[in-house]
Structure 1
Amino acid sequence: MKATTTSAIVLAGGLGTRLRSAVPDLPKPMAPVAGRPFLAHLLDRWIDQGITHFVLSVGYRHEVIRAYFGGTYGGATLDYAVEATPQGTGGGLLLAAQHLPADAPFLLLNGDTFFDVPLSQLTELAASQQTDWCFALFRTSEPGRYMGMEIAQDSRITNLRTGMEQPERLANGGVYIVHPRSLSGLAAQPDTPLSLENDLFPRLLAAGQRWFGLECPGAFIDIGIPQDFHRAASVLPVHTAQRTEDALHH
């Protein structure tokens, strides 16, 4: 079954307070890695896998992101869902989803995380199981930092176990295939930021939605804290050529 997902939402609106000591004057996705914004590396990887339309959910210093990327990048179209006030990752998703069709699954990405996931495999699992959410999972031994996921033998996600302390566990890698029907009835609330993991996830799973997970062995890096940001250049794949649109900005 061939992957057909060609649109993606990138959650890029966070304040990046934990990274401020290393990158004091930029929104977190614009933090420079190997001479280019982290977000450029992220978009490159997904464009290489067939994504042709991105909706960037932005807030803090969004004008810096828009000024760099504009309306097209690497042959892909970029739209912007701008938060007037901080909406949280959940609220940002709900705002951005308004830019996409209501009947086509889309890719959802964290703007501060790179996870080298095979899009075709994730999309195939989502299609074969008719999932509401299909999660890319990675193995970690870092206690407490990443949301643990309990998964059955048929790949169905059965429970969320945040802050697990086991020596090794499957964790949420911040890459998802989302069917818009899963967001039906939900709306961003301007005065109440919503967290994707802490607010929306428990609610959606408790509602009986079809959640499945795919363990992926690819490279993973979350630049949310300085020590991981400083090692990002050694984790991200090397692209043999920068994209023409990117070069125009320099």
Structure 2
Amino acid sequence: MTRECIVLAGGLGTRLRSAVANKPKCMAPIGDQPFLYYLLQYLHRQGIDHTVLSLGYLSEQVISWCESTPLPLRISFTVEPEPLGTGGGIMHALPAVAGNDLFIVNGDTFFDVDLTAFCTFHQQTGSGLSLALKPMQQFDRYGSIDLDNTHHIIAFREKQFCESGLINGGIYLTGKNWLNSLSLPEKFSFEKVVLEPQVTAGALSGYISDTYFIDIGIPEDYQKAQHDLTANTAKN
């Protein structure tokens, strides 16, 4: 299985600042640990042994915490010289990945995907990039995704109220060679410049996982995570 991962943790976190001021989102306190702690523990449990943190806003807080905290996996850091967008953050971190295959994870979401099963799915589809998708009911905060009967993604739909649908859960599986073949700019949105155009090319697949998911990007879900993630850690 792929054992390397980029965690995107460089965003400004403007929607969360009313609840968490002067911290990057991944450092938002959950109980007595930052959110990043729970994310790294999950990655370790799933077999990841090297994580590259793609940092930007208040990166020194993340680096200081990692260097002073015993963690169960190897951590590397890349720091954006200026905001590069989600895509630019990935490409800036890519040289720190030793192998070809890698997971990419949003640093403000926790999605309890079985990464071994996801990796098997990705290999079977032969796609350039696979997304982990979460089934959701009655939502309007996220865009939705349509699949064909072979699990290839055929459409990304704009945010609107949906009775039920699949959302992008913020975990990707791809390869350095595939990303480098796209001739991408230095600053760009991964969603707009990679995901949406590659639908037309038939290069994207969607792996459905109806497992625990939370996005701490807004205060309401950040408060929910306070209970969910600490309770889950207590069980483990």
**Normalized against structure 2, the TM-score is what?**
0.92
Structure 2: which 5+ runs fail to align?
none
Greater mean alpha carbon deviation, residues 56-65 or residues 162-171: 162-171
User: Does 2:168 match 1:172?
Assistant: yes
TM alignment of 1:138-149, pairs within 5 A: 138-149=134-145
Q: Among 33, 36, 40, which residue is 2:37 paired with? A: 40
Whole-Å separation in 1 of the counterparts to 2:117 and 2:197: 27
- Comparing 172-181 with 143-152, which one deviates more in the overlay? 143-152
* Counterpart selection for 1:198 from 192, 199, 209: 192
Q: Measure the CA separation in 2 of the matches of 1:142 and 1:233.
A: 23
Could you tell me how far apart the structure 2 residues matched to 1:108 and 1:209 are? 20
2:227 & 2:183 partners in 1: Cα distance?
A: 39
Structure 1's 112 and 8: CA in aligned 2 closer, same or farther, altered over 3 A? Answer: same
- Is the 1:9–1:109 Cα contact (8 Å) retained in structure 2? yes
Give the direction of change, closer, same or farther, for the CA distance of 1:72–1:230 in structure 2 (3 Å limit). closer
Structure 1 residues 36 and 8: CA distance shift in structure 2, 3 A: same
Say which is worse superposed, 216-225 or 228-237, in terms of deviation: 228-237
Q: Does 1:85 align with 2:82?
A: yes
1:140-185 superposed Cα distances (whole Å, 9 cap, x missing partner): 2354422311101111111111214321111100011112233124
Please state whether the residue corresponding to 2:170 is helix, strand or coil.
strand
Structure 1 stretches of 4+ with a deviation exceeding 6 A read: none
2:103 and 2:173 in contact (8 A); partners too = yes
Note the residue ranges of structure 1 that are not aligned, 5 or more in a row: 243-250
Amino acid at match of 2:197: R
Residues 1:179 and 1:16: Cα distance change in structure 2 (over 3 Å): same
Cα deviation for residue 73 of structure 1 reads: 5.0
Q: Which letter does structure 2 place at the counterpart of 1:197? A: E
CA deviation profile, 1:17-44 (whole Å, cap 9, x unmatched): 0001100111110000121100110010
1:233 alignment counterpart = 226
Q: Matches of 1:72 and 1:205 in 2, distance apart?
A: 41
In structure 1, the partner of 2:117 is 121
- Letter in structure 2 aligned against 1:39: L
Residue 75 of structure 1: SS of its match in structure 2? coil
**Count of matched residue pairs:** 234
After the TM superposition, which of the residue ranges 139-148 and 92-101 deviates more from structure 2? 139-148
CA contact (8 A) 1:144 1:165 kept: yes
Q: Which residue of 2 aligns with 1:96?
A: 93
DSSP 3-state at the match of 1:117: coil
Distance in 2, matches of 1:127 and 1:200, equals 20
Residue identity in the other structure for 1:148: S
Letter aligned with residue 21 of structure 1 = S
Corresponding residue number in structure 2 for 1:212: 205
In structure 1, distance between residues paired with 2:207 and 2:122: 10
* Cα deviations by residue, 1:119-147 (Å, 9 ceiling, x for unpaired): 11100001111221111111223544223
Percent of aligned positions that are identical: 35
Q: Is the 8 A contact 2:152 2:202 kept in 1?
A: no
Q: CA RMSD in A?
A: 2.0
Partner of 2:49: 52
Higher helix share: 2
Contact 1:11–1:110 (8 Å) recurs in 2: yes
Contact 2:198 2:204 in 1 (8 A): no
CA contact (8 A) 1:47 1:74 kept: no
SS of residue paired to 1:86: coil
| Partner deviation per Cα, 1:176-209 (whole Å, 9 max, x = no partner) | 11122331243452xxx41122232123333x15
Instruction: Give the equivalent residue in structure 1 for 2:59.
Output: 62
1:241 CA drift (Å): 9.4
Equivalent AA in structure 2 for residue 232 of structure 1: A
